Amino acid sequence: MDLIRAKQDDFRIIRDLYDDVIRNTPELEKHARWKIGSHPTDETIIDYIHNNNMYMCMEDSKLIGVMAILMKQDEDYHRIKWDLKSSENEVATLHIFAVASDFQGRGFGKKMIRMAWELAKSNGKIVFRLDTLASNIPAQKMYETLGFKLRGKQNLYAGNTGWSDFLYYERIL
């Protein structure tokens, strides 16, 4: 499996993958609350691509999954009591992570996250962080299996969820 930085020309296939995940992942509405047109938005995807943060995982010319990998953390991450004290330039974060419905349940998600943290390490990062909705039990189980530790919770407003509890995870690299 290869991790490839997305280009502007990749927008449509990335958008199609998110739409596929939203339409075909059992109980996605219950767990992640993603909705076509509201999360992830076209603007969000385009912004991640434009800033060189969107990555595609390919295997034999098939798009397996997509994710945004940022070599920094968002402002809401600063309010969490992290286990590892780190400077801003030592942190990478994962966002809008998705595995195509045809490839779910076969270990590709775990491989993708391992690839993401290897990319972070190669960029000098010492810690990898992410957040998920408290309702997203399948994601939490996968992250914990990969060695991520729960470090905090915040109730935040998001357009697709309203006020919701978000859990913050950390993995020291």
The pTM for the full model equals 0.94
Distance CA(140)–CA(109), nearest Å, equals 12
Task: Specify the pLDDT at position 30.
Answer: 79
Residues 6+ apart with CB under 8 A from 167: 131, 132, 133, 134, 140, 150, 152, 153
- The CA–CA distances, whole Å, from 42 to 50, 101, 126, 173 equal 12, 20, 31, 31
* Regions of the chain where pLDDT drops below 50: none
pLDDT at 139 (0 to 100): 96
pLDDT for position 100: 97
Q: What is the pLDDT of residue 118?
A: 97
**Mean of all residue pLDDT scores within the chain:** 94
Q: Are 170 and 131 in contact (CB under 8 A)?
A: no
Domain range summary for the chain, segments of one domain joined by +: 2-125
pLDDT at position 141 is 97
pLDDT at 164: 82
At 160 the pLDDT is 66
* 2-125 fold: Aminopeptidase (3.40.630)
pLDDT of residue 116: 98
- Which pLDDT does position 32 carry in this prediction? 85
Residue 87's pLDDT is 86
